Chains A and B, each alone.
Chain A
Amino acid sequence: MPKLELQGVVKRFGDRTVCDGINLTVDEGQMVCLIGASGSGKSTLLRCINLLEPIEDGAIFLDGEDISIPGLNPQSVRARIGIVFQSFNLFPHMTALENVMLAPRRVRGLTRAELQPEVEALFARFGLADRMHNYPDQLSGGQQQRVAIVRALAMQPEVMLFDEITSALDPQLVGEVLDVLLMLKKQGMTMVMATHEMGFAREAADKICFLDSGRIIEEGPPEAVFDHPSHQTTQAFLARALK
């Protein structure tokens, strides 16, 4: 049974169809990279998986359980699926530590003291031990994005979604964030990421999905998609992206 499965997911904003019948399976511990031009529906798809956007048609399964039933309380699902955004979205009025502790305290019902060892270990693991008490505006973009990842991980999610998390970073800061993803992969985290980092996708992904106009028009292992794209649109996109 796949960890995460999407069947014919359709998402519309008004007259505009952003996801047009997407099928996708993600196995436990797999890293799936969504690539494609801006506006091809990658971000929206991730937001749909996290139930931030209700879907019009189709279904989403987590461990074989339909999580897209209309009217289902999304809270428990979101606690199991973490998401990290392009623009970090840290809470500016809280320190890094408070950012990370908020959801476990509220949702998992733990006290600060109970969380302290676990959270400190997370900060240490991602090289942020001395940044715990800083506010977001005192951190670099790379640090902020790593705190955002720690914040999502503190909920102990089963699946992590990454929405172009390096796109807003200065080039020299991209590496430190991608390294974090490699660490997570090594630990066996199931991950879906939308990215423009083709080099990274090729190196690290287990599966590449190429999206165009809300459909996955090509998918497969990185070598197959990058080296022998069968679809003309994919070829054109890769030619531009890898130039």
Chain B
Amino acid sequence: MTRRERYEAHQRRRSLVIATISTVTVVAAIYFLVPLAPGWSKVQQSFFNGETLVKTFPKLLEAFRINVMIFLWSAPAIAVLGLLIALARDAKSPALFPLRIFGAAFTDIFRGVPVILTVYLIGFGIPGLGLPRPWNSPYIWGSLALILTYSAYVAEIFRSGIDSVHHSQRAAALSLGLSERQVMRDVVLPQAIRNVVPSQMNMLIALQKDVSLLSFIGPVEIFRQAGVFKSLLANFTPYVGAAIIFLIVTIPATRYADHLMARQMRERR
């Protein structure tokens, strides 16, 4: 072991000890001090009631299947629509000018309006025009509201991805005699999409959470189911249960997105 290695090993041990001590101190402080707060027993009863959690968890899990279902059919639609909007916004031909205007207006509107408003307006508004069942289902129109809103964000991310592909790639492809369309499809988009995968993962995670907004127009997904339990039992623990279920799904997804992001940073360097 060289002098330098000895020094570094010593430093590592030192930081490990400090990190351990400070972590233990913080955890212990939370564990011992919070219950000393005067309202703790009431908070514990209202939010962390084990009995209520056990009683409501299976039904919450069942309701979560609705979230998963809505997520599963919305996400691909968002990817496709988002990409189309991104391409529309970058359309160069003058004949496609209306498409460009439409794309710009679309992203401005749906990024500017809170998701919940879009869910309300589309979820109740369009069926209110007199569509017959099952075409007036809140599942359909609520999902559409999510799809429109998220497509607007996803389209912007795709655009940034398209911009991130160096123009020399376009030049190289054009110089080989490829058409603009072929250049976009074969050279630019594959790279653009790969570049934005981590950002899009974050959108997926956000979408997974925002599916719950559909509860406002009827579907009894996990958030509504937890609310029903909350009202019946006058206890907030079902919300904690719902949060746990969300975390079980989103923490691995978030970690994975971070991992992809970190890998990409390394590759770019």
* A interface residues with partner B (beta carbon < 8 Å): 47, 50, 52, 74-76, 78-79, 82-83, 85, 87, 89-93, 102-103, 106-107, 148, 151-152, 155
Q: Is A107 in contact with B172, judged by CB distance below 8 angstroms? A: no
Q: Is A107 in contact with B177, judged by CB distance below 8 angstroms? A: yes
Residue of A nearest to B186 (CB): A102
CA distance A89 to B167 in the complex (A): 10
Q: Is B194 in contact with A78, judged by CB distance below 8 angstroms? A: no
B34 at the interface (CB under 8 A from A): no
Looking at the complex, which one of B177, B187, B191 makes contact with A75 (CB distance below 8 Å)? B177
Looking at the complex, which one of A74, A83, A89, A155 makes contact with B169 (CB distance below 8 Å)? A89
Q: Is B168 in contact with A87, judged by CB distance below 8 angstroms? A: yes
B 166-192 to A, binary, CB cutoff 8 A, 1 in contact else 0: 001101111111110010001100110
Known pairs A52-B175, A91-B191. 20 more at Cβ < 8 A? Answer: A52-B174, A75-B178, A78-B176, A78-B177, A79-B177, A85-B168, A89-B171, A90-B172, A91-B169, A93-B190, A102-B186, A102-B187, A103-B178, A106-B178, A106-B186, A107-B177, A107-B178, A148-B172, A151-B176, A152-B175
Q: Is B187 in contact with A103, judged by CB distance below 8 angstroms? A: no
Query: How many residues of B are in contact with the other chain, CB < 8 A?
Result: 17
Q: Is A78 in contact with B187, judged by CB distance below 8 angstroms? A: no
Instruction: Tell me how far the C-beta of B28 lies from the nearest C-beta in chain A, rounded to whole angstroms.
Output: 49
CA distance A9 to B174 in the complex (A): 21
Q: Which of B169, B172, B179, B186 has its CB near the most chain A CB atoms (within 10 A)?
A: B172
* B interface residues with partner A (beta carbon < 8 Å): 168-169, 171-179, 182, 186-187, 190-191, 194
Chain B positions within 8 Å of A151 at CB level: 176
Q: Is A93 in contact with B191, judged by CB distance below 8 angstroms? A: yes
Q: Is A82 in contact with B186, judged by CB distance below 8 angstroms? A: no
CA distance A87 to B176 in the complex (A): 16
Instruction: Tell me how far the C-beta of A128 lies from the nearest C-beta in chain B, rounded to whole angstroms.
Output: 18
Chain B positions within 8 Å of A50 at CB level: 175
The 10 closest A-B pairs by CB, nearest first: A79-B177, A89-B172, A103-B176, A78-B177, A107-B177, A83-B175, A93-B190, A89-B168, A106-B182, A75-B177
CA distance A89 to B191 in the complex (A): 13
Q: Given A89-B168, A91-B187, A93-B191: A107 and B175 within 8 A (CB)? A: no
Q: Given A92-B191, A106-B182: A52 and B176 within 8 A (CB)? A: no
Q: Is A93 in contact with B171, judged by CB distance below 8 angstroms? A: no
CA distance A103 to B186 in the complex (A): 10
